[in-house]
A and B are shown apart, each in its own frame.
Chain A
Amino acid sequence: MGGLVLLSFVLITVSFRSSALDGVQGTAAGILRPFEVGADRVARPFRDAFGWSKGLVDAKSENAKLKAQNRLLLQQLVKTQSAVAENAYLKRQLDYKAAPSEADFTRVNTEVLTNPQSDLDESITIAAGSSDGVGVGDVVRTPSGLVGVVDRVSKSVSRVTLLTDSTSNVNAADVAHPTSVGIVRRGSGSGTLILDHVQKQNFVGVGDMVITAGSLGAGALPSMFPRGIPIGTVMNESDNDINPFHSIQLQPFVDFSSIQSVTVLVPKR
């Protein structure tokens, strides 16, 4: 027992302080990958059946709600398409140099191998690694919105630090009020986010959509996040005399506890 405890301490020290074991760990993680994928495939029919039966309960009320929402979105779509066309035309006329967008990245679509393992863990592992072009710092998203950033890469597996991790900070803006820019970081509760450092003179409305702001102008350290990835909607906004900024709580678009697949945005190197 003493030997094993000592060995654990040695492993912690080496693994934490150096990258000497990264190769071995990456190879071992690659070996485990087929087992994890296999287990996921076996569990999928049961998960789908559970989701299907759960969905039946509130399908009728949800259907009516979605129909009303669909009508509203169709009207908005027409307006948006017209604005997008006008925007593209004006940019061409002005020869406008914009911040990097998602079009400047190569997309690597991949499966999620493991979800967060404990209440303290805010990371997932994905089935793509350096052999697919993925590197440390690459941005990860789902169709719903921003997930996080790749923080560790092996040949065939990578680890992604989620947006809900306390070390994550993302430059973000309110879509409805583009001058309201702040930093999205972890909130006090599990799975919640806050939009911090938004000046009080800038307006942020409840229900507004918050997206990645990207780089604001050319600088030596451009943002690693392309502009326009959805993050969440403003759930609550309040002010007090002590805090010089708005207190804004966000409802993230992504359910961080159960992500099935993601897209890694690999910069065109």
Chain B
Amino acid sequence: MDGAKIALVLFVSAILQVAVLTEYRAFRSASLVLVVLLCVALLRGSIVGAIAGFGTGLLLDTATLGTLGVTSLLLTVAGFWIGRYGETTARDRLHAPFLSVAVVTVLYAFGQLVLQFMLGEPAPAALVIDGLPLALLVNLLMTVPVYALTRRLFPPRQRADRIGEVQLLG
């Protein structure tokens, strides 16, 4: 059930991103999909984060007829890493979603640049660096409502839910 909900939320945000939001200059730097994915990964962990990132990336590359796998690779790593952060140190910390979004926004932008460069396509770093402050601002502003919504849709699991069984050794 959770999986279907996550898929639906990411699908809707991906369609919104590619068809509507990117008409506005700010959303060519910022990304709603990235923010939603990070919030879901924080709440549901690394495995869900990685799978959701891969699927969302594939959807974005398909919709734009881009090189398949590029966005998947970046979002898989981002989803896994933030999911792991959520599973370990970030639990119940107020700053966690903001810190995650800020760090990943910067790394995602440079990741895109590096992949573009490695594929032999033009990779003007100045454009990315110029767009970063706006991307950070918009993504951080979006984090407030998006995290509140995703937290409502995917409430943090209770400790008892997460630990099914403990086996003592020795």
Contacts and interface: CB of A to CB of B under 8 A. Distances in A.
Contacts of A125: 63-65
B123 interface: yes
B140 to A, nearest CB: 18
Nearest to B131: A119
A60 B112 CA distance: 44
Interface in B1-58: 15-20, 22-25, 28-29, 31, 46-47, 50-51, 53-54, 57-58
Contact of B64 (A14, A16, A123): A123
Interface of B: 15-20, 22-25, 28-29, 31, 46-47, 50-51, 53-54, 57-70, 72-73, 76-77, 80, 109, 112-113, 115-116, 119, 122-124, 127-128, 130-131
A29 B73 contact: no
Contacts of B19: 35-37, 39-40, 43, 113-114
A67 to B, nearest CB: 30
A1 interface: yes
Nearest to B116: A120
Given A12-B68, A36-B15, A114-B64, A5 B23 contact: no
22 contacts: A1-B46, A1-B77, A4-B51, A4-B53, A9-B73, A12-B73, A25-B65, A32-B63, A39-B15, A39-B20, A114-B19, A114-B22, A115-B22, A116-B22, A118-B31, A119-B128, A120-B122, A120-B128, A125-B63, A154-B65, A158-B65, A258-B23
A152 B65 contact: yes
A232 B24 CA distance: 22
Given A8-B69, A115-B22, A119-B28, A166 B122 contact: yes
Q: Which residue of B47, B51, B127 has the most chain A CB atoms within 10 A of its CB atom? A: B127
Contacts of A118: 28-29, 31, 112
Q: Which of A21, A28, A115, A120 has the most CB of B within 10 A?
A: A120
Interface string A112-144: 011111111101010000000000000000000
B28 A116 contact: yes
A contact residues, range: 35 or more
Interface in A213-269: 257-258
Contacts, number: 141
B69 A11 contact: yes
Contacts of B47: 1
A152 B62 CA distance: 12
Contact of B113 (A7, A10, A29, A120): A120
Contacts of B15: 32, 35-36, 39
A204 interface: no
Contacts of B16: 39
Nearest to A33: B63
B80 A1 contact: yes
Contact of B76 (A5, A40, A157): A5
A171 B88 CA distance: 58
Contacts of B127: 119-120, 190
A119 to B, nearest CB: 4
Nearest to B72: A8
A47 B57 CA distance: 27
A83 B78 CA distance: 62
Contacts of B76: 1, 4-5, 8
A121 B28 contact: yes
Contacts of B122: 120, 165-167
A87 interface: no
Contacts of B58: 11
A4 B25 contact: no
Contacts of B51: 4
Contacts of B31: 118
A111 B148 CA distance: 35
A101 interface: no
Interface in A157-176: 157-159, 165-167
